[in-house]
């Protein structure tokens, strides 16, 4: 099992990171790092922060670092010097093309990692043939009396509602048999860091879904984070909840909603310069259906016919072996599950040794 090394940042470190992300952050993934699993590197010459989590001696970060315009290169250099001093090998997960290019110049390996689904709220609507099924389902649930309401714990806490939401969370994870930790946030009612919370209820007042959204671009855009639903709820109830929340934000004048990243989606295997690791990631996307079902997550986001799919990249120290890299990433998503970790490791080793077995299955 991979061991997490906790550097125990003080509460003041998280508050300092939150302030930098809140004022300088442009990336939808940055608020995800404001949690107990993260440590924080602050630039000295560059104004910015790189949140990271240690798994073994690998320093894992999520999304782009947050920094002042023009400081990204300096901040990365400071952080990489910090990693070298401590013997860490850096991994940057789900970064933008700009950050990937800067790290490629610093001799890091760059892989296409996935696609982020974005809704441009100025132009997004449910019209059009591609959204026909979604439009009909949303209308059907509207007619059934399902409604959206926003919960604002920063202004008025509701202990009974929070109890219901935590129970919904427990049921959801018990059914999934996995609790993601690294790239997924939580309800976090004590310290919200600007999160917005929405619930939908049926006509009898029962809670059907719970959603939280993380702010980015100084609150002009939000990224969906937590998504829990009642297991025996109506078909399409989560799609209805997301659309209802997004349309509310549109009416408020917000610019964008991110449906977050579909990991390993969109890798072009016909590309002449595709790398062996990218081919393996595509095999994982098409064949791994335990723990973290990449393909179904992509299908779910595709239902919304996003305004754009933004490519995200995985960038890592070239000295990290592929299996260790893969298990480090998946282990940070379900860190406490030893059995799941061993499943991942066996799968990755088998995939490297017998790739044709999985290609034949797809055909």
Q: Which residue from 29, 17, 19, 185 is spatially nearest to 96, judged by alpha carbons? A: 29
Give the model's pLDDT for residue 230.
94
Q: How far apart are CA 235 and CA 146, in angstroms?
A: 12
Give the model's pLDDT for residue 319.
87
Q: Which residue has the tokens 């202990």?
A: 159
Give the model's pLDDT for residue 282.
77
Distances 120 to 79, 95, 125, 127 between C-alpha atoms, Å: 33, 20, 9, 14
Architecture of the domain defined by 11-117+273-362: 3-Layer(aba) Sandwich (3.40)
Q: What are phi and psi of 254, to 5 degrees?
A: -70, 160
Q: Which residue has the tokens 């023009």?
A: 70
User: In the 3-class helix/strand/coil scheme, how is the chain assigned residue by residue?
Assistant: CCCECCCCCCHHHHHHHHHHHHHHCCCCCHHHHCCCCCEEEECCCCCEEEEEEEECCEEEEECCCEECCCCHHHHHHHHHHHHHHHCCEEEEEEECHHHHHHHHCCCCEEEEEEEEEEEECCCCCCCCHHHHHHHHHHHHHHHCCCEEEEECCCCCCCHHHHHHHHHHHHHHHHHHCCCCCCCCCCCCCCCCCCCEEEEEECCCCCEEEEEEEEEECCCCEEEEEEEEECCCCCCCHHHHHHHHHHHHHHHCCCCEEEEEEEECCCCCCCCCCCCHHHHHHHHHHHHCCCCCCHHHHHHHHHCCCCCEEEEEEEEECCCCCHHHHHHHHHHHHCCCCHHHHHHHHHHHHHHHHCHHHHHHHHC
Distances 32 to 4, 39, 129, 195 between C-alpha atoms, Å: 18, 12, 34, 10
**What's the CATH number of domain 122-260, 3.40.50.2300, 3.40.630.30, 3.10.105.10, 3.50.50.60?**
3.40.630.30
Q: What are phi and psi of 48, to 5 degrees?
A: 175, 180
11-117+273-362 matches 122-260 in fold? yes
Give the model's pLDDT for residue 72.
97
pTM: 0.85
Q: How far apart are CA 45 and CA 251, in angstroms?
A: 41
Is the CA virtual torsion 29, 190, 49, 68 positive or negative? positive
Distances 176 to 209, 210, 228, 232 between C-alpha atoms, Å: 16, 16, 11, 14
- pLDDT tens, N- to C-terminus, the chain (363 residues): 333 344 556 678 999 999 999 999 999 999 989 988 899 999 999 999 999 998 888 899 999 999 999 999 999 999 999 999 999 999 999 999 999 999 999 999 998 889 999 999 999 999 988 999 999 999 999 999 999 999 999 999 999 999 999 999 988 877 765 544 444 567 889 889 999 999 999 999 999 999 999 999 999 999 999 999 999 999 999 999 999 999 999 999 999 999 999 987 888 777 888 877 787 777 777 666 655 677 888 999 999 999 999 999 999 998 887 767 766 665 545 444 555 556 656 665 665 666 555 454 444
Using CB atoms within 10 Å of the CB of residue 231, give its burial: 0 to 12 exposed, 13 to 18 middle, 19+ buried. exposed
Domain ranges for the chain: 11-117+273-362, 122-260
């Amino acid at each position: 099992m991979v061991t997490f090394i906790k550097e125990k940042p003080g509460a003041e470190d998280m508050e300092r990171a939150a302030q930098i992300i809140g004022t300088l952050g442009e990336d939808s993934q940055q608020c995800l790092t404001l949690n107990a699993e993260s440590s924080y590197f602050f630039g000295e010459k560059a104004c910015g922060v790189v949140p990271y989590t240690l798994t073994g001696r690998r320093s894992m970060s999520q999304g782009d670092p947050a920094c002042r315009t023009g400081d990204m290169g300096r901040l990365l250099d400071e952080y990489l010097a910090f990693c070298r001093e401590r013997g860490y090998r850096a991994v940057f997960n789900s970064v933008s093309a700009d950050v990937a290019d800067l790290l490629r110049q610093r001799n890091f390996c760059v892989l296409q990692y996935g696609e982020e689904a974005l809704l441009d709220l100025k132009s997004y609507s449910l019209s059009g043939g591609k959204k026909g099924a979604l439009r009909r389902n949303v209308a059907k649930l509207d007619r059934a009396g399902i409604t959206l309401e926003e919960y604002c714990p920063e202004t008025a806490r509701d202990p009974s509602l929070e109890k219901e939401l935590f129970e919904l969370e427990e049921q959801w994870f018990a059914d999934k048999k996995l609790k993601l930790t690294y790239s997924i946030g939580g309800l976090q009612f004590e310290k919200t860091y600007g999160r917005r919370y929405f619930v939908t209820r049926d006509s009898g007042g029962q809670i059907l879904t719970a959603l939280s959204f993380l702010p980015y671009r100084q609150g002009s855009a939000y990224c969906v984070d937590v998504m829990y639903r009642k297991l025996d709820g109506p078909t399409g109830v989560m799609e209805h909840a997301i659309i209802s929340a997004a349309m509310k934000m549109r009416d408020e004048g917000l610019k964008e909603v991110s449906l977050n990243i579909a990991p390993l989606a969109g890798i072009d295997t016909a590309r002449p310069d595709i790398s062996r690791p990218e081919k393996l990631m595509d095999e994982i996307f098409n064949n791994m259906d335990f723990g973290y079902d990449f393909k179904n997550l992509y299908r779910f986001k595709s239902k919304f016919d996003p305004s754009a799919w933004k490519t995200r990249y995985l960038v890592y120290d070239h000295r990290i072996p592929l299996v260790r890299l893969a298990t480090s990433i998946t282990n940070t998503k379900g860190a406490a599950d030893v059995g799941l970790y061993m499943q991942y490791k066996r799968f990755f080793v088998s995939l490297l040794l017998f790739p044709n077995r999985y290609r034949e299955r797809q055909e």
